[in-house]
Every structure is written in structure tokens, then in C-alpha cells.
């Protein structure tokens, strides 16, 4: 949450508001209504979140949609912060990873322990997921899914037309890129936005450094790792990927980049499996009309990104009831199955039948389990899972500036990452 870079100031104002008894957000919320802040506005995302609205409404409650466009939620988090500052947060908001703790520390989140107990969340959820949903030992958020970030998507017709196979190494990817260019295609669809740059970069780091190195760099913020030869190599490879992208990339939304692959204008995209939501919405079949593979060199690892809804404290009993109903529905099999098939993710609870899911999702579930066993499951830096929001914001700036700069060296970028990490200490 880049908007919380000024966290101490923000915290002070929030505490002031709380003391003034201004936490009456719910006072303005009508009985049985849940206002839900999210950033799911692309075709696949909107369809997926619609399933939750339908289920809530079927229980007799009202869904008040608070959608803030912008991939990966930077804009949504800015809007959430200002709503919270004015003492009027929504009942539920898409908040993820360590940011759940940041909001929990502000004392604004409600307690979901009773719903969790009734629904047996403790048993159902992998520890890596449930740990993030608790603040101070209490459930304050509910997980929706598990997205895998380190995916490479491709249009098989385009690959075939250029006479190339799905690449499994960076050398193969760059060689395929040349053939694709000659055949008149954009090799790699990309949107030049900081979070998309970071999404690509973290996969390169995982590929070249492996999961232990990835954790040292992005979770432990280890200075040696951040300025190591491996990091320099990752920065250099990341920058080289520009060769495969097109001039139209600055500012492009991720789903428009996915559309380029769907339309056969571009061959591939590095993106988390929410891209699958776009392929599915375009009626394309996994393994036939589009291909999924792990980003080169990351087959054994899994960069996870869990979407979740944190619930804000409410005064009104009926609104609280509606909020709890929403939390309960989110982990029930019906929602987990339908939502995740549309969204491209896998269920947050691993006990569900996956037979109706497509082959990329089945593979994701298998790889998730395998990565847990092999300890190669890593949290996504680009998707708010790995580090505090202020450090993440600084990393995003450095990665994007480096990617777009004509004179910043990889060494200089690495030094800046070290400086940003020092902020966190």
C-alpha cells in the first residue's frame, strides 16, 4: 500500500478519529448491507466477483459495490486510505498479506473468530494462508483464493506460425523472440506500469536465484542478496526483456496486454493466473487455445498471491450480520469452486474437488502442494505478499525507473534496493 508510506502520520490521525468516536462507519451503512471495496474490474475479474454478490444477495443481504479500477490495487488502496481517514471505511475491503497487519495495528478491523470457528477455518486453510488472516491471534480477514504469479502464457497458433515452441529457458525465450519478430508478432505482451514491471522482475529473480535467494532478497531484505551478482544478473536479464516488448507498452493495463495474446497480435505474456480469467471469458480452452507454463527456470517454485477481504469494525448489528455472512460464504465450497474457475486462481482451501477446473488450475494446485513440501513456496513481492507496503512502494519505484532508464546501471539499481531495504530496518 504505497499510500501508507506516511504510516506514522496516518496512524496518528486514525487514532485521533477513533478517540473522537468517529468510527461509526457502520452507522451510515444500512442494515443488511455490505459495502465491498475491490479492484476487480477487468472482464474476467468482474464476472468472478459477481458470483460473490449473487451469493450474498441470495441470502437476503445487499451488496454495495465499491470497485476502484487499477490492476493490483494501488488506486484501490489509496481510496481506502482516504475513506478510512474520514472515519467511513467500507464494511469489507480487498486487503492482502502484510497490509492486513498494518490495518490491524490501526485497530480498525473487526473480529471474525466466531465465523472462523463455525466454519472450521483452522483445519481447512494451509498455515501459510491462515497466518496472514489473523491479527494478534484473531481472524480479521478471509482468503478468497491462491493465485500463482510465475506463469508464462502463450498463443499456440502464433508460436506455430513463427515455428517456435513454448520456451523453457531464457535463451530459448530470446531466440523465440527473434523468430516471432521476424514473423511480424510482438513476442512478449507487457503493460508498462510499476506493478507489472515488478511482476516480471520477481519471476526473473526467482528463476535465476531460486527460492532461498528470492526469500533473502524480498522477505528478509538481506543486503548481501540485494547487491549480489545474482541480483545484478536478474536486473540485466529483466531489462533485456524490453527487446521482446512493443512500443505501446507504457501505461497499458494488464488485461489489454492479455488481449494482445488472445487476438494473436502478441505471442506470450508473463503474468499471474488472473490472466486466465481473460482467456476463459474469451471462451478459450486451456491447453488448446492458450498455453500455460511456469516462467523459465521456475518449474519447481511457486510464487503465491492470496486475495483476501478484511472486515472493518461495524456498529450496526444487521450490517455486522451481513458482513459475517459474506465472510462465511467466501470459504464455502460453492463460492470457492465457481469464483476460482472464473478468476483463474485455485481455491484457498485445498480439500475441494478440482475435477471441474482446467488443466492449468490442476497443475497450479499440484505445484502449490509440491512447493509447500519442498519449501519452494514464496510470497509475491509485486502482489503485496512479501514486505511492508512502504518498502514495496520504494522497490516498485526503483524497478520501474531502472527498467525505463537509458543510463541507470544494474549495479546502481541494486544499490538503490539496498538503500530502500535499510528503510525497513
Among 4, 49, 72, 93, binds ligand GAL (CB under 6 A): 72
- 45 binding ligand GAL? (CB under 6 A): yes
Beta pairing partners, 250: 192
Binding pattern to ligand GAL, positions 296-325, x when CB under 6 A?
---------x-x------------------
Give min distance, CB of 343 to ligand GAL, in A: 7
Sites for ligand GAL among residues 266-285 (CB under 6 A) = 274
Q: Which is nearer to ligand GAL, 40 or 309 (CB)?
A: 40
Q: Which is nearer to ligand GAL, 88 or 258 (CB)?
A: 258
- What is the rounded distance in angstroms from the CA atom of residue 330 to the CA atom of residue 144? 6
Q: Which is nearer to ligand GAL, 383 or 416 (CB)?
A: 383
Among 83, 147, 276, 320, binds ligand GAL (CB under 6 A): 147
The closest alpha carbon to 199, from 139, 266, 148, 142, belongs to 148
- 185 binding ligand GAL? (CB under 6 A): no
Segment contacting ligand GAL (CB under 6 A): 37-45, 99-107, 166-174, 278-286? 37-45
- What is the rounded distance in angstroms from the CA atom of residue 315 to the CA atom of residue 88? 12
- 39 binding ligand GAL? (CB under 6 A): yes
| Count of chain residues binding ligand GAL (CB under 6 A) | 12
Binding pattern to ligand GAL, positions 243-262, x when CB under 6 A?
-----------x--------
Phi, psi (rounded to 5 degrees) for 97: 50, -140
Q: Which is nearer to ligand GAL, 69 or 85 (CB)?
A: 69
Contact predicate 309/144, CB 8 Å: yes
Give min distance, CB of 96 to ligand GAL, in A: 7
Among 23, 26, 49, 71, binds ligand GAL (CB under 6 A): 71
The strand pair at 141-143 and 134-135 is best described as: unpaired
Give min distance, CB of 45 to ligand GAL, in A: 5
- What is the rounded distance in angstroms from the CA atom of residue 277 to the CA atom of residue 396? 25
Segment contacting ligand GAL (CB under 6 A): 11-19, 38-46, 200-208, 387-395? 38-46
Among 73, 194, 209, 379, binds ligand GAL (CB under 6 A): 73
Cell of 76: 484501490
Q: Which is nearer to ligand GAL, 305 or 364 (CB)?
A: 305
Segment contacting ligand GAL (CB under 6 A): 65-73, 130-138, 205-213, 397-405? 65-73
End-to-end CA distance of the chain: give it in Å, rounded: 18
Segment contacting ligand GAL (CB under 6 A): 67-75, 129-137, 261-269, 363-371? 67-75
Segment contacting ligand GAL (CB under 6 A): 2-10, 70-78, 212-220, 326-334? 70-78
Contact predicate 312/108, CB 8 Å: yes
- What is the rounded distance in angstroms from the CA atom of residue 120 to the CA atom of residue 124? 6
Q: Which is nearer to ligand GAL, 39 or 153 (CB)?
A: 39
Please name the residue that has the C-alpha cell 531460486: 210
- 99 binding ligand GAL? (CB under 6 A): no
Q: Which is nearer to ligand GAL, 23 or 249 (CB)?
A: 249
Binding pattern to ligand GAL, positions 349-388, x when CB under 6 A?
----------------------------------x-----
The CA radius of gyration of the chain, in Å to the nearest whole number, is 21
Give min distance, CB of 135 to ligand GAL, in A: 20
- 335 binding ligand GAL? (CB under 6 A): no
- 290 binding ligand GAL? (CB under 6 A): no
Q: Where on the chain is the footprint of ligand GAL (CB under 6 A)?
A: 39-40, 45, 71-73, 147, 254, 274, 305, 307, 383
Amino acid at each position: 500500500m504505497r499510500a501508507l508510506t506516511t504510516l506514522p502520520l496516518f496512524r496518528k490521525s486514525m487514532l485521533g478519529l477513533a478517540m473522537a468516536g468517529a468510527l461509526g462507519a457502520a452507522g451510515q451503512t444500512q442494515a443488511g448491507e455490505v459495502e465491498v471495496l475491490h479492484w476487480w474490474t477487468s472482464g474476467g475479474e468482474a464476472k468472478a466477483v459477481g458470483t460473490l454478490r449473487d451469493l450474498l444477495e441470495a441470502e437476503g443481504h445487499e451488496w454495495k459495490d465499491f470497485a476502484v479500477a487499477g490492476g493490483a490495487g494501488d488506486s484501490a488502496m489509496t481510496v481506502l486510505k482516504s475513506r478510512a481517514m474520514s472515519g467511513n471505511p467500507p464494511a469489507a475491503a480487498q486487503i492482502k498479506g502484510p497490509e492486513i497487519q498494518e490495518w490491524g495495528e490501526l485497530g480498525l478491523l473487526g473480529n471474525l473468530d466466531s465465523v472462523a470457528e463455525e466454519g472450521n477455518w483452522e483445519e481447512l486453510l494451509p498455515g501459510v494462508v491462515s497466518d496472514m488472516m489473523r491479527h494478534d491471534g484473531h481472524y480479521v480477514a478471509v482468503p478468497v483464493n491462491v493465485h500463482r504469479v510465475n506463469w508464462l502464457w502463450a498463443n499456440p497458433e502464433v508460436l506455430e506460425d513463427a515455428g517456435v515452441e513454448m520456451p523453457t529457458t531464457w535463451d530459448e525465450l530470446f531466440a523465440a523472440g527473434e523468430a516471432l519478430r521476424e514473423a511480424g508478432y510482438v513476442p512478449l505482451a507487457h503493460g508498462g506500469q510499476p506493478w507489472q514491471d515488478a511482476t516480471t522482475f520477481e519471476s526473473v529473480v526467482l528463476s535465476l536465484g531460486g527460492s532461498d535467494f528470492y526469500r533473502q532478497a524480498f522477505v528478509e531484505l538481506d543486503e548481501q542478496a540485494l547487491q549480489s551478482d545474482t541480483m545484478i544478473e536478474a536486473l540485466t536479464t529483466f531489462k533485456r526483456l524490453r527487446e521482446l516488448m512493443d512500443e505501446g507498452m507504457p501505461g497499458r493495463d494488464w488485461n489489454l496486454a492479455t488481449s494482445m495474446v488472445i487476438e494473436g497480435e502478441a505471442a506470450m505474456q508473463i503474468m499471474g493466473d488472473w490472466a486466465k480469467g481473460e482467456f476463459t471469458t474469451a471462451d478459450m480452452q486451456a491447453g488448446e487455445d492458450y498455453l500455460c507454463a511456469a516462467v523459465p527456470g521456475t518449474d519447481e517454485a511457486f510464487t503465491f498471491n492470496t486475495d483476501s477481504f478484511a472486515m472493518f469494525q461495524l456498529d450496526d448489528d444487521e450490517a455486522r450480520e451481513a458482513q459475517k455472512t459474506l465472510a462465511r460464504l467466501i470459504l464455502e465450497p460453492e463460492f470457492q469452486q465457481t469464483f476460482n474457475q472464473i478468476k483463474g486462481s485455485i481455491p484457498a482451501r485445498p480439500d475441494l474437488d478440482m475435477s471441474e477446473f482446467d488443466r492449468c488450475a490442476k497443475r497450479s494446485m499440484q505445484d502449490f502442494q509440491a512447493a509447500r513440501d519442498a519449501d519452494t513456496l514464496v510470497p509475491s513481492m509485486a502482489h503485496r505478499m512479501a514486505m511492508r507496503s512502504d518498502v514495496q512502494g520504494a522497490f516498485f519505484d526503483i524497478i520501474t525507473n531502472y527498467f525505463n532508464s537509458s543510463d541507470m546501471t544494474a549495479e546502481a539499481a541494486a544499490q538503490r534496493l539496498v538503500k530502500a531495504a535499510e528503510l525497513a530496518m
